[in-house]
Amino acid sequence: DGGITQSPKYLFRKEGQNVTLSCEQNLNHDAMYWYRQDPGQGLRLIYYSQIVNDFQKGDIAEGYSVSREKKESFPLTVTSAQKNPTAFYLCASSPGLAATGELFFGEGSRLTVL
Amino acid sequence: GEDVEQSLFLSVREGDSSVINCTYTDSSSTYLYWYKQEPGAGLQLLTYIFSNMDMKQDQRLTVLLNKKDKHLSLRIADTQTGDSAIYFCAETPIRGSTLGRLYFGRGTQLTVWP
């Protein structure tokens, strides 16, 4: 079945360590996104990519990095520079500019910094 | 910038109707969305409405859009316990280069009592 797969579902990290969250989609979508969700704060956009080898910062990009080397993959690295990384991270994709803008979400990755 | 506001909590009895409200500031919004998030999961699109429509009905769901007041509502008829979840309002602006970049409200936690 087509969809978006995020891994791992749960991740624990010590302070000062970088960690990479995986996001893979087999929907043949051009655009991919990373959102961060904190309780009561809704979703905030970290990075997005509308095409392979190109990506843009969202509203809270500091302390994060991404790459888009393949259409189906958009990994997110949470670096040690991110001051408060404990959160629920959601990856999404959309068909691109020609569509209605609907996002298709993965099941999320919960990162806890110990 | 874009701003989407929702009340944080709503409680209803099983069988009653639920109405979740949302206001937004961007008058150039093209599509407005309602997403549902169950605990520990990603978001799923419930329905969306194009900005030149006033109402859209889909089975138990009715979306009303008041463009003058920039107010969007989601009515769930005959609410069931399985409808308990967080409901997010979202909008995407008309600027073509950002179509697919959604702006989300903080989410409304709907609790349905048996």
DSSP string over chain A: ---EEEE-SEEEE-TT--EEEEEEE-S--SEEEEEEEETTTEEEEEEEEEETTEEEE-SS-TTEEE--SBTTB--EEE-TT-S---EEEEEEEE--TTS----EE---EEEEE-
Q: Structure tokens of A102?
A: 């609907």
Whether the predicted pLDDT of A56 surpasses 90: yes
Judge: A40–B8 Cβ closer than 8 Å, yes or no. yes
**Which residue of B42, B50, B97 is in closest CB contact with A107?**
B42
Round to whole Å and give the CA distance between A84 and A99.
34
Rounded Cα gap, residues B87 and A94, in angstroms:
20
**Residue B100 distance to chain A (closest CA, Å):** 4
Phi, psi at residue A100, to the nearest 5°?
-75, -5
Tell me the per-residue pLDDT of A8-42, one tens digit each, with 9 for 90 and over.
999 999 988 999 999 999 999 999 999 999 987 88
Cβ-contact A72, A14 below 8 angstroms: no
How far A104 CA lies from chain B's nearest CA (Å)?
7
Work out the percent of chain A whose per-residue pLDDT is above 70.
Answer: 95
| Cβ distance of A101 and B104 shorter than 8 Å | no
What was the pLDDT predicted at B87? 97
In chain A, what is the straight-line distance between the N-terminal and C-terminal CA atoms, in Å?
36
pLDDT in tens, chain B (114 residues): 468 999 999 999 999 999 999 999 877 767 899 999 998 899 999 999 988 889 999 999 999 999 889 999 999 999 999 999 999 999 887 655 555 678 899 999 999 999
- The pLDDT of residue B94: 63
More reliable by pLDDT, B69 or A97? B69
In terms of Cα–Cα distance, which of A75, A49, A79, A76 is closest to A62? A79
CB of A87 within 8 Å of a chain B CB? The answer is no
pLDDT value of position B50 = 86
